[in-house]
């Protein structure tokens, strides 16, 4: 569902359709927080970023906004090899990282360190996983988890709204749904998502453990 549809849903369920105690901005914050809980279970958002350009003589480059892990890194369209700090120390000459065309990288403190240090300005292409960007209905206008899970996400947001308004019985009802119905559904979704689109293993009569007379 769209962001507006989601906000209308949780407002109506909470009987706060016109309640000025609740700004849309505050609800966006709750959505972002709970969406990241969902992503921690079903998998972070896979993303590509090409916004970083290297600077000659500069080795360290910050992860793109909201990126948590880097799966692959391209330098001027060429795939770089991830290495360890031990490998990096081996590559150093007299303790100094050489300068030239980068072909390796080290991950450190939410940065990538290019080896050798680049001597030209080229585009870095990051492939990785990121957390949910903060929803503000301006820069980020969508809820970037699968739409089939939006209804379950709403239960958590309603629980948070009920807690602020001291509606403890309502909060417990929706938090119970979140913990005992929605959380298992997220784990189930993650499990089934990995299996979808994969071929089942086909065995013949000679390799199957099942025979006409039962299990071998």
In tens, the pLDDT along 109-163 reads 999 999 999 999 999 999 999 999 999 999 999 999 999 999 999 999 999 999 9
Domain count across the chain: 2
Residue 1 near residue 9, CB atoms below 8 Å = yes
Q: Say yes or no: 149 and 179 in one domain.
A: yes
| 115: phi then psi, degrees, rounded to nearest 5 | -130, 125
For 30, the domain range is 3-44+133-195
Cis amide linkage into residue 116, ω under 30° from 0: yes
Q: Say yes or no: 125 and 49 in one domain.
A: yes
Q: Say yes or no: 157 and 96 in one domain.
A: no
Burial class (CB in 10 A: 0-12, 13-18, 19+), 209: exposed
Q: Say yes or no: 15 and 53 in one domain.
A: no
Q: Does residue 182 sit within a domain?
A: yes
Q: Say yes or no: 119 and 51 in one domain.
A: yes
- Single residue among 101, 130, 159 that ends a domain in this structure: 130
Residue-wise burial string across 51-70, b where 16 or more C-beta atoms lie within 10 A, e elsewhere: ebebeeeebebebbebbeeb
Q: Say yes or no: 38 and 52 in one domain.
A: no
Q: Say yes or no: 122 and 103 in one domain.
A: yes
Residue 171's pLDDT is what?
97
- Single residue among 81, 96, 130 that ends a domain in this structure: 130
166: left (phi over 0), alpha (psi -120 to 50) or beta: left
Q: Say yes or no: 65 and 104 in one domain.
A: yes
Q: Does residue 68 sit within a domain?
A: yes
In this prediction, the residues of the chain whose per-residue pLDDT falls under 50 are 203, 205, 209-216
Q: Does residue 111 sit within a domain?
A: yes
Burial class (CB in 10 A: 0-12, 13-18, 19+), 119: middle
Q: Does residue 191 sit within a domain?
A: yes
Q: pTM score > 0.85 for this model?
A: no
Q: Say yes or no: 113 and 174 in one domain.
A: no
CA distance 159 to 175: 6
- Single residue among 130, 152, 168 that ends a domain in this structure: 130
CA distance 31 to 11: 12
Residue 93's pLDDT is what?
72
Residue of 60, 62, 30, 31 lying closest to 49 (CA atoms): 62
């Amino acid at each position: 569902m769209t962001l507006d549809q989601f906000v209308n849903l949780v407002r109506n369920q909470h009987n706060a359709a016109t309640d000025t105690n609740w700004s849309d901005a505050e609800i966006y914050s709750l959505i972002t927080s709970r969406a990241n809980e969902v992503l921690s279970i079903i998998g972070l958002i896979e993303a590509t970023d090409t916004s970083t350009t290297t600077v000659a003589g500069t080795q360290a480059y910050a992860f793109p906004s909201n990126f948590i892990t880097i799966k692959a890194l391209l330098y001027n369209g060429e795939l770089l090899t991830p290495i360890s700090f031990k490998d990096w120390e081996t590559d150093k000459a007299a303790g100094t990282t050489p300068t030239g065309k980068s072909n390796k990288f080290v991950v450190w403190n939410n940065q990538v360190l290019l080896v050798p240090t680049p001597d030209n300005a080229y585009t870095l292409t990051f492939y990785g996983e990121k957390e949910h960007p903060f929803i503000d209905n301006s820069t980020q206008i969508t809820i970037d988890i699968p739409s089939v899970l939006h209804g379950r996400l709403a239960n958590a947001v309603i629980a948070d709204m009920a807690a602020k308004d001291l509606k403890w019985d309502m909060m417990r009802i929706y938090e119970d749904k979140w913990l005992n119905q929605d959380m298992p559904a997220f784990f189930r979704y993650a499990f089934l998502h990995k299996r979808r689109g994969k071929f089942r293993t086909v065995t013949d009569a000679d390799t199957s453990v099942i025979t006409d007379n039962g299990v071998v």
